[in-house]
Amino acid sequence: AQSVAQPEDQVNVAEGNPLTVKCTYSVSGNPYLFWYVQYPNRGLQFLLKYITGDNLVKGSYGFEAEFNKSQTSFHLKKPSALVSDSALYFCAVRAPNRDDKIIFGKGTRLHILP
Amino acid sequence: GAVVSQHPSRVICKSGTSVKIECRSLDFQATTMFWYRQFPKQSLMLMATSNEGSKATYEQGVEKDKFLINHASLTLSTLTVTSAHPEDSSFYICSAEGAGGGNQPQHFGDGTRLSIL
C-alpha cells in the first residue's frame, strides 16, 4: 500500500533563510509525487510535481523539490523564505496505476518569522 | 490554468437542514471529482470519488445516504449533506482531474465552511 509521511507538524524559519519541508513516501513502482500549499480557508494549490526525468523539480513561487529514490524522499525547498510563504503544505503520492488514489500527507505548517 | 469553482464558500444553518455544495470545473472537463473533508489542524480525508455518469465510490466509514454525491456532467459535481447535524460541521473541499492520467495534479476548489447550529 502506498503512503506518505511528513514528519514535522510545524517548521519555523526566519525570513530570508532557506527552508525545507520534509516528505518521505512508500509506493510500489515509480511514484508520482506532488506538493500543494493551502492558505487559511482556501483549497489546495498545486506547487510542483515529479513524474520522471530530472530529480530537481522547480515549481511555483520559487519552490523546488528534490526526488531522492534511494531515500524515498521528496523534500520541498526554497532558497530564501518570505513571510507570505507561511501556510500549510501537503505532500502527496500516487502510484503509476491511474486507479490508485492520490494519498496526502498530514501536512506541515510553515511559519516564516519576520 | 485549470480552475475549479466551489460554492457556497460558507454555510450556516440549523440542525436537520440539507445542504448542497457545488463543484464546477470552469475550463476543463473533469472526468473524476473528489470530495474531501478537513478537520481543524488535520489533513484531508477523502470521502468519495465520483466519475461522470456513474455512482460515486465512497470511502470506508462514509455514509452514502448522508452524503449524496451526483456527478451529472463533466463539469459539475454536487455534494448534499442530508439532515445535517452539528457533528457534520467541517471544511469540505472538492477537487477535479481531467483525462490526462494519474500524473496530472488535482485542481481544488476553495472549499466550503459548513457550520451546523
Residues of A in Cβ contact (< 8 Å) with B42: 106-107
What are the angstrom distances between the C-alpha of A17 and each of A9, A11, A12, A71, A111? 19, 12, 10, 25, 12
Yes or no: say if A20 and A75 are a contact pair by the CB < 8 Å rule. Answer: yes
Q: What type of residue is A10?
A: Q
| pLDDT, tens digit, 9 for 90 and up, residues A88-109 | 999 999 887 756 788 999 999 9
Closest CA of chain A from B66, distance in Å: 23
What is residue A101's predicted lDDT score, i.e. its pLDDT? 81
Separation CA A59–CA A35 (nearest Å):
9
Q: Would you place residue A82 in the very low, low, confident or very high pLDDT band (cuts 50, 70, 90)?
A: very high
Q: What is the mean pLDDT of each run of 10 residues along chain B (117 residues)?
A: 92 96 92 91 88 88 94 91 96 89 86 96
Closest CA of chain B from A21, distance in Å: 16
Q: Supply the DSSP string of A81-94, one letter for each residue.
A: --GGG-EEEEEEEE
- Other CB atoms closer than 10 Å to residue B73's CB: what's the count? 13
Residues of A in Cβ contact (< 8 Å) with B103: 32, 49, 51, 94, 96
Mean pLDDT of A60-67: 96
